[in-house]
Amino acid sequence: MQFSSALLENAVNEFAKLPGIGKKTALRLVLHLLKQEPEKVGLFGEAIIKMRREIRFCQRCYNVADADICSICSNSMRRQELVCVVENIRDVIAIESTQQFSGTYHILGGIISPLDGIGPDQLHIEALIQRVQKEKIEEIIFALNPNIQGDTTIYYIQKKLQSYPVRVTTIARGIAFGGELEYADEMTLARSITNRLPVESYVSNR
């Protein structure tokens, strides 16, 4: 691409560094911003710079926060004895959007994956054990993606938690709502038969 303005070229190149944004899309976005008022574009740029510079990570659960402790951990209405263990911030946002969970979180920052060189020491696992030691946690709920790495991580942490009086659970896996039996993979289908539910509990949860 040939540009007649270095300012334009620079802005397009910066946008094109973002994942999934090619040169053509970057140009479209920059030309859109060029049509906006300078004040609005200033707000856009400053929101991003400020976010990166000032955002912190909760000292307790490692969620993104505007202070030392995130708004979920510091909310006294939430059940502090219930901790949902997730891989990353995106999972917290997904679960929060269901508005069905009233406990707190613990963000591991990844999952154990030897092939990617990620071992237990790179994750916030030790911090979770310390929380179980210090806080009055009654239940740890694992909400990790259902794959080998997720299961390995659950197995590793569960072993570490064996000596503590804490209930350890995992979110249910099975056929998704709206999913069709014949298209489900064998693993999911097999597990959903093994972990079958009494009809009464299924009906009452609807």
Binding site for its own copies (CB under 8 A): 1-8, 10-11, 13-15, 17-21, 25, 27-34, 36, 38, 41-55, 58, 63-66, 70-72, 89-90, 92-93, 96-97, 99
Residue 39 amino acid letter:
E
What gap in Å lies between CA 57 and CA 77, rounded to an integer?
21
Nearest distance, CB of residue 47 and its own copies, angstroms: 4
Nearest distance, CB of residue 100 and its own copies, angstroms: 12
DSSP string, 66-80: SSSS-TTTT-TTSEE
What gap in Å lies between CA 133 and CA 140, rounded to an integer?
13
Beta carbon nearer to its own copies, 94 or 197: 94
DSSP letter at 175? Answer: P
The number of residues in the chain equals 206
- What would you measure as the largest C-alpha separation in the chain, in angstroms? 70
Nearest distance, CB of residue 22 and its own copies, angstroms: 12
Beta carbon nearer to its own copies, 108 or 154: 108
Beta carbon nearer to its own copies, 13 or 152: 13
What gap in Å lies between CA 206 and CA 183, rounded to an integer?
23
Beta carbon nearer to its own copies, 54 or 185: 54
Contact 41, 33 (CB under 8 A): yes
Phi, psi of 27 (to 5 degrees): -65, -40
Nearest distance, CB of residue 171 and its own copies, angstroms: 18
Beta carbon nearer to its own copies, 49 or 148: 49
Nearest distance, CB of residue 87 and its own copies, angstroms: 12
What gap in Å lies between CA 101 and CA 92, rounded to an integer?
10
Beta carbon nearer to its own copies, 69 or 161: 69
Rg of the chain in Å (alpha carbons):
22
Nearest distance, CB of residue 183 and its own copies, angstroms: 23
